[in-house]
Amino acid sequence: MRRLMSGILCVLFAGVALAAPPKPVSTPEDVAAITAVTEQFQAALKAKDVKALSSLMLNSNILWSSPASDKQVAKLRAEHDPNFDGVRAGGYNDFAWFIKNAKKDIEERFYNIKITQDGDLAWVMFDYEFVGDGKVENYGVETWQMVKRGGQWKIFSVVWSTHFPEQ
């Protein structure tokens, strides 16, 4: 009897282990709309149209940061602020001000865009180059979290790595 119960339990657990995980709820229409937001973002940035850029955000207080490295955090803690955590406070508003007041042509190029959507939540990840006057100023990996509100996809966080080309 014990052997029979062990066999039944093994079969039941094997069935659970072999079951496919649930798949995200994604539609081609939503993926196309999310892709359109990435294109609108690039166009607004290149045109320095802060109003259009801001219309893509959930609000103006979203997380917008390239966290500093441990080395940079240690340096800033030693020199200025012992509580610095590596995340700047200015966020999207500082970026919008920078774009509006930029004296040079700017653009951000996206490569290898990957969109993962599950219902009203999405993640967008891509390689990027930030370009000023035709020269790459920095590059890395960028991620957006997006949420669908009122039928529209909105960006509610932007986090990226930052690398600088060798001069």
Q: Give the pTM.
A: 0.83
Query: What integer pLDDT is reported at residue 89 of this predicted model?
Result: 81
Domain ranges, ordered by start, for the chain? 24-160
> What's the confidence (pLDDT) of residue 23?
79
Residues in the chain predicted with pLDDT less than 50, given as ranges, are none
Q: What is the pLDDT of residue 22?
A: 79
The length of the chain in residues reads 167
- Spell out the residues 6+ positions from residue 165 whose beta carbon is closer than 8 angstroms to its own: 136, 137, 138, 139
What pLDDT is stored for residue 59 in this prediction?
A: 96
Q: Read off the pLDDT of residues 141-159 as tens digits, 9 standing for 90 and up.
A: 999 999 999 999 999 999 9
Instruction: Identify the bridge partners of residue 131 per DSSP, sorted by sequence position.
Output: 107, 136
CATH topology for the 24-160 domain: Nuclear Transport Factor 2; Chain: A, (3.10.450)
pLDDT in tens, 115-139: 999 999 999 999 999 999 999 999 9
Q: Long-range contacts of range 92-97, CB-CB < 8 Å, 24 or more positions apart?
A: 92/57, 92/60, 92/61, 92/62, 92/64, 92/158, 93/60, 93/61, 94/64, 95/64, 96/50, 96/53, 96/54, 96/60
